[in-house]
Amino acid sequence: MDTAEYQHFAWLARSFGRTDYLPLAPGDLEALAAAGSYVDKYPGTHLFKEGGESTGAFVVERGEVELYRTRTVGRRVVGRVRSGAVIGDIAMFQGHPYISSAKAITAVRAFRLERNRLLPLLIERPIIAIRWLVAGLSQLEATQQRVIRLMHRTVREQVAEVLLDEADPFGEVHLSQSSLADLLGASRQSINEALAAMRHSGSIETGYRVVRVLDADKLRFVAGRSVDP
């Protein structure tokens, strides 16, 4: 096995639950890798679209993907995912059309697992199936924890929470104000007011479709999180 293959297999192993939980054997990883192939997407192009046939699931290797649903008055952003996220698998397993669209925000590379190859593999190799279950439950738990953190909070507190969660390693959040409003189910005016207060405090600065975190501790204080000493 060459270095590129080893790195690819190691990345796949990390993407499916804890690496210390039922370790995947080399044969498992080779079989998993054979169930799909890489796809590269430019910004603005789709991995899949709402209502499309769910013939595969995607593991994001790098880049950012926006998930949104279409409404009569436009579209509603339901989330953003980055490296390691598995998307499209729920619809794929159910055999239902995709319930949302997945659009590349940056250049995206993802590993597309084909349904007709993956399902027989999960039956033949239960360790992979259990690891997939662990990974899915971990994502569900993270979503539930986020919902709980946002419940019964002011809009300003919710915005601070989302900015902390969504900031990339450079402290940038690539979400428009309307996208933030969609994510939080709030009015755009209330989002604007919350962002204005944070700008005034020096915790953020805003640009076109981007919010830059300048002082994470101030945001943590607003969100009610413990502040680093």
**DSSP assignment letter at 198:** H
Question: 153 to each of 147, 159, 223, how far by Cα in Å?
Answer: 11, 10, 9
The pLDDT value recorded for residue 162 is 87
Q: What is the pTM of this model?
A: 0.68
The pLDDT value recorded for residue 1 is 44
The pLDDT value recorded for residue 177 is 84
CB 166 within 8 A of CB 150: no
Residue 200 identity:
H
The pLDDT value recorded for residue 20 is 55
The pLDDT value recorded for residue 166 is 83
Domains along the sequence of the chain with CATH: 3-148 (2.60.120.10), 153-223 (1.10.10.10)
The pLDDT value recorded for residue 124 is 92
Distance of alpha carbon 208 from alpha carbon 127, whole angstroms? 46
Q: Which residues of the chain have pLDDT under 70?
A: 1-23, 72-74, 146, 226-229
The pLDDT value recorded for residue 204 is 94
The pLDDT value recorded for residue 116 is 94
